[in-house]
Amino acid sequence: MSVVFEKRTIAPFPIGFYDDLHPDISVNFQMNRFYNWVGDDSMLSEMREAAKGITDYPTFSNTFIDLDEKTLAKGSTLKGAYYLRLADFFIPSGDPRKLTERRRFVALVLDFFAVPASANSHIPYESGWLSSYRFTPEKPRGVIVVFGGFDSHIEEWLPAAITLVNAGYDTIMFEGPGQGAVLEDAHIPMTVEWEKPVKSILDYYKLNDVTLIGFSLGGGLVVRAAAYEPRVRRMIAYDILTDMLEVTLRGLQPTVRSEIVGWLDSKNEAALND
């Protein structure tokens, strides 16, 4: 369904990238990523201090869960929520906290931005459902449909969605196969055939002329979906990702890359998983 969504005031998005939050490039990127959604400069010093000397993911997650709890106790809901999301990113899928912490993060950001339950829909898809949110301004100037990448919890994108709604766009954001609640609650794995979930979204909302945005891995999925779905009239790859395998293998030694590609070519699933 569509809910008329009044303008919300949000903090300005930070500009720039900090390369000194953590010596590990990947960890440093994720710290920048979740800071960018909050825009509270106090996060920079707090994260630097909390992450000092941390060299493994379990310690990192435990440290930021602790920081999340201290931050929430001080009444900083949004900042605490994104500390929790940062911790959750590095919790492995087999850990029972993965589901619990995602749900807690989602509840915190929905409450902070006063998102009504009526804005969320579970859209029938294959054997389960897709999770979507629709925010419609009073006089929409167009429809934007947006989704994320391989690790996406679409609720983390709420500050950007609210910015689009404030600018007058009817905004739909959704989780597809392999993402967030669709993976962890509906148990639907990732697919490359992204035109299928996009079709379900457009059918459900009866849309014919949309701008489709995909971010992170979605920058590759959006190109595929737009190619197969004629109701997508404009497409934004945010950012462009043409080869997930190349990205995944980039940080490995050439001999290891060759070995992995060989296992993929020969369908040696056991060796690859090990």
List the pLDDT tens digit at each of the 274 positions of the chain.
566 777 778 889 999 999 999 999 889 999 999 999 999 999 999 999 999 999 999 999 999 999 999 999 999 999 999 999 999 999 998 899 999 999 999 999 999 999 999 999 999 999 999 999 999 999 999 999 999 998 889 999 999 999 999 999 999 999 999 999 999 999 999 999 999 999 999 999 999 999 999 999 999 999 999 999 999 999 999 987 888 888 889 888 999 999 999 999 999 999 998 9
Q: What residues have CB less than 8 Å from 241, skipping those under 6 apart? A: 149, 216, 217, 218, 219, 220, 247
- Helix ranges, 167-233 (H): 180-184, 195-205, 218-228
Cβ-based neighbour number of residue 90 at 10 Å = 17
φ and ψ of 35, to 5 deg: -60, -40
Q: What CATH number does residue 216 fall under? A: 3.40.50.1820
Does residue 187 sit within a domain?
yes
Does residue 253 sit within a domain?
no
- Which residue's entry shows tokens 């004629």? 230
Residues 142 and 93 in one domain: no
What range does the domain containing 44 cover? 25-111
Residues 170 and 223 in one domain: yes
Residues 123 and 107 in one domain: no
Residues 133 and 83 in one domain: no
DSSP 8-class letter at 133:
E
- Which residue's entry shows tokens 């990448």? 149
Pick from 77, 92, 111: which residue ends a domain? 111
Q: What is the pLDDT of residue 151?
A: 85
What pTM did the predictor assign? 0.91
Number of domains in the chain: 2
Residues 123 and 145 in one domain: yes
Residues 125 and 238 in one domain: yes
- Helix ranges, the chain (H): 25-38, 42-50, 57-73, 77-89, 97-112, 158-166, 180-184, 195-205, 218-228, 244-249, 254-265, 269-273
Local structure of 145: helix, strand or coil: strand
Comparing CA positions, the residue from 152, 134, 273, 165 lying closest to residue 221 is 152
Residues 80 and 152 in one domain: no
Q: What is the pLDDT of residue 152?
A: 85
Does residue 19 sit within a domain?
no
Does residue 68 sit within a domain?
yes
Comparing CA positions, the residue from 130, 181, 125 lying closest to residue 152 is 181
Go through 32-56 and write b for each residue having 16 or more CB atoms within 10 A of its CB, e for each that does not: bbbbbbbbeeebbebbeebbeebee
Residues 106 and 124 in one domain: no
DSSP 8-class letter at 136:
E
Does residue 41 sit within a domain?
yes
Does residue 186 sit within a domain?
yes
Polymer length in residues for the chain: 274
Cβ-based neighbour number of residue 125 at 10 Å = 20
